[in-house]
Chain A
Amino acid sequence: MNSSDDAVSDDEILYRSVRESDILRDENGIILRIASPAFNDRVREVSLDRAKFRTSEQSRFRASDTVVSLRAGDIRAITDIVHGGQQYQIEVRPDPILNHPEFPDNPAHSVVVGNPHLTKQAFEKLKPILALLCWVVLEGADDNNDVA
């Protein structure tokens, strides 16, 4: 049995739950793309669940969310995040959540981080790339777009 704080290997699949408001669909309701704000994070470290420890169903916050996946190696291969002359290396590292005072346990939790730590402007460049790299694995169960 692997431990959830093992390094994330390049071939690992990672999940992210996306609200319906950040999904772009055509007139027939077919998903076209994911919008960049789907990868928002206040500390500029994008949370993803490792598929080896959680199913896509377990990774979504609500039934109406769509779950997208990304491959760790694809994320590490992002080399074009440059801002103010600084080039950023993008990494995926395990970040299991255990006994946190605020968040429920999530041994599958990992984060996409920049080296050095991403500035706001650099993070804004990363988000559309993640949106391009991801694909849908589990579509939202209904069109409920209630955020509260």
Chain B
Amino acid sequence: MATQTLTRVQTIIRHGGRIETDVPELLEGTRVELIIVPASSLLAELFAKIQELETYPERWNGYNVAAADLTAIERGREWIVRLYEAIPAEQWVQPHVGLDEEGSPAFGWYQRERSLDVYVQEEGAHWVRTQGKGHPIDDGEVNTPEQMAEMWQWLRGGLDEQQR
């Protein structure tokens, strides 16, 4: 049996993390397949839903909408991981995952009359929130951890109200 030299391989993962692993010394041309499983089952569930979006063709809902934009979906995947990392795990609420009319990802949290939609676009992510009829509809950017925390605080406020 041939002796195998262990080589330390470092892989930068697209979603902000990195893994290091020991693998047998690689011969040139060897194909290495890495299966990356998100640490959280909630993220795994989200990733599965996002992956489904990638298959949406033009006019997928019967109306005038674009096919999934794969570059935009990748941006959305990265954004939701950053949000997930910015929020205390015990506070996390799974979003609705969809596409906007241009094929970019849209994340939504809905509680009775309150809704929070986040659109992740090339120029950045922004939210649109409503509290029902008679309330102003406002919007803002959500790219930094501070903006994410502020957005989440508003969302949590609605959940607390609902539980009272």
Contacts and interface: CB of A to CB of B under 8 A. Distances in A.
Given A21-B98, A147-B61, A36 B108 contact: yes
Contact of A61 (B62, B66, B130, B139): B62
Q: Please classify the interface of chain B as helix (H, G, I), strand (E, B), loop, or mixed, using the class held by over half of its residues.
A: loop
Interface stretch (A3-11, A50-58, A128-136): A128-136
Interface stretch (B30-38, B71-79, B112-120, B148-156): B112-120
Nearest to A65: B62
A116 B136 CA distance: 19
Contact of A80 (B55, B62, B119, B136): B136
Contacts of B80: none
Contact of B101 (A17, A22, A41, A147): A41
Given A40-B63, A80-B136, A132-B133, A148 B115 contact: no
Given A17-B62, A35-B96, A129-B133, 8 more contacts: A37-B100, A40-B99, A43-B64, A65-B62, A125-B128, A128-B137, A131-B115, A147-B56
A64 B137 CA distance: 32
A144 interface: no
Nearest to B115: A128
Given A21-B98, A24-B96, A80-B137, A148 B110 contact: no
Given A121-B139, A128-B117, A22 B64 contact: no
Interface of B: 52, 55-57, 60-66, 96, 98-102, 106, 108, 110, 113, 115, 117, 119, 128, 130, 132-137, 139
30 contacts: A21-B52, A22-B98, A35-B96, A35-B110, A36-B106, A36-B128, A40-B63, A40-B65, A41-B63, A41-B101, A42-B64, A42-B65, A43-B64, A47-B63, A80-B134, A82-B137, A83-B139, A124-B100, A124-B117, A124-B119, A124-B128, A128-B115, A128-B137, A132-B133, A147-B55, A147-B57, A147-B61, A148-B55, A148-B57, A148-B60
Nearest first, the 5 closest Cβ-Cβ pairs linking A and B are A61-B62, A37-B98, A40-B101, A125-B137, A147-B60
Interface residues of A, number: 35
B113 A132 contact: yes
Contacts of B113: 132
Contacts of A17: 61-63
**Which of A36, A82, A121, A129 counts the most chain B CB atoms within 10 A?**
A36
